[in-house]
Amino acid sequence: MTSKRIKSALISVFYKTDLDKIVALLKKNGVQIYATGGTLDFIKKLDDSVRSVESLTGYPSILGGRVKTLHPKVFGGILGRLDNESDIAEMRQYEIPALDLVIVDLYPFEETVRNTTDEAEIIEKIDIGGISLIRAGAKNFNDCLIVPSSNYYKEFMEMYERQDGCTTLDDRKRFARYAFQTSSHYDTAIFNWFAGDNATPLRYGENPHQKAVFNGNLDEVFEKLHGKDLSYNNLLDLDAGLNLIREFDEPTFAILKHNNPCGIASRPTIAEAYDAALAGDPVSAFGGVFVSNRPIDLKTAEEMNKMFFEVCVAPAYEEGVLDILFTKKNRIVLKLKSNNFPSKVYKSALNGILEQDRDLHNETKDDFKAVTNKTVDNQNDIDDLIFANKIVKHSRSNAIVLAKNKQLYASGIGQTSRVDALKQAIAKAGSFNFDLNGAVLASDAFFPFSDCVEIASMAGIKAIVQPGGSVRDQESVDACNKFGIAMVFTGYRHFKH
């Protein structure tokens, strides 16, 4: 059966938030609910027809609550194959009711680990029955829908109402995927605690012959929805991309390659932002990391799916989007939880570790000091200078960024001379047929000579933002005045190595 009406449900949850809404929907549709412990007590206040699991199994909760649902009448009801005559006969013989829906919210193991070092308390928060219910429901997705976490309550309720109390096979498979993701994450957290650290083994380091681990809790940053394991290089790109994208308030899409933005744009919609970001360098975007500061909608997903990319991260995905993005087996799809990172950054050097403050300074119009005869008065030009300056801050030094209409036209990055970075950016913009007339330029550090201004003028650059601070600043100012270019100093350098 592909479409199936939910007639019975087993609910066993730790946190009860929004459970009242689910119970109301199930009650409205005449669903028989079974529950345990605190969940039973909660539901009784909402639906007096709820039955205890003990009334089904004939056994009470024992061993201080450690054993409640671990019984053949429970798991037989979940795992029974309703298209298998033998299973049906045994279920009748042993009076096992079929369970069409299982809702679980596991003991908060990770939260407990964060809040205490008491081993006994931590051990008691290792869920046994709940994780077993999740795996059983997921295994028998043909007949049972499993909601493995409160994170999926909203999606379940919307689907349940839309389909008038029924589930499809595709629904049950999708939630089974959520279930195994939830159980995998939960077991990994337990393993990490027993291992005595928070180290996550990675496939390899920067290169296949290098071993690598990640020391930290990635689950605080994002939820992995799909794809292969993250690599060392994936994590570096994600770190660069998430630090970049949080600089922008309006809908913005960034494409990262080797820790540098190769495409980024801000637009009224995320679909428009993606198109403009991709246009910045569709060649480098191949195999890149895609980062959005808005939910991905269907239009954007359909365009993204035409490209090969390694990773996508966004704060949310609209209905139907994941079905599109999941069509590539190894594509990594992440749901962002937080991009608020520590205020300190560290890097190994020689036989020790370097520590510094994170570069959190964001220049605004108030930081711009006009130093040329021509000033920047047009709001679009001011916005473009701020936009370009944000990008150059997150590009490898020496770095030059060329932008127009809040779109990255090209950048020159990682060069040993600033003039080479500019030449690289101009050449790259030309290779993608961008007209640099009226574009702006941002530099992560001062111009040591006036040659960059001279080259920029020949390319059609109309305004420049740079820190200033060179003993030859006046030469660059004079060159700007000669060529009719506006230039502002910020007083803030943004080297990135």
How far apart are the C-alpha atoms of 475 and 83, rounded to whole Å? 83
**Termini Cα distance of the chain:** 58
How many residues are given for the chain? 497
Angle, helices 85-93/72-79, rounded to nearest 10 degrees: 150
4 is catalytic: no
Name which of 57, 59, 6 is nearest 33 in CA terms.
Answer: 6
Please report where in the chains the tokens 């933005």 appear, as a residue: 261
Q: Greatest CA span in the chain, whole angstroms?
A: 95
How far apart are the C-alpha atoms of 229 and 116, rounded to whole Å? 29
Q: Which of 27, 125, 139, 299 is catalytic?
A: 139
Q: Which of 27, 228, 258, 328 is catalytic?
A: 258
Please report where in the chains the tokens 């389909």 appear, as a residue: 163
At residue 437, the 3 state secondary structure works out as coil
E strand spans, 432-493: 440-443, 463-466, 486-489
258 is catalytic: yes
Q: Give, for 32, the enclosing helix (H) or strand (E).
A: strand 32-35
How far apart are the C-alpha atoms of 128 and 450, rounded to whole Å? 69
Residue numbers annotated as active site: 139, 258
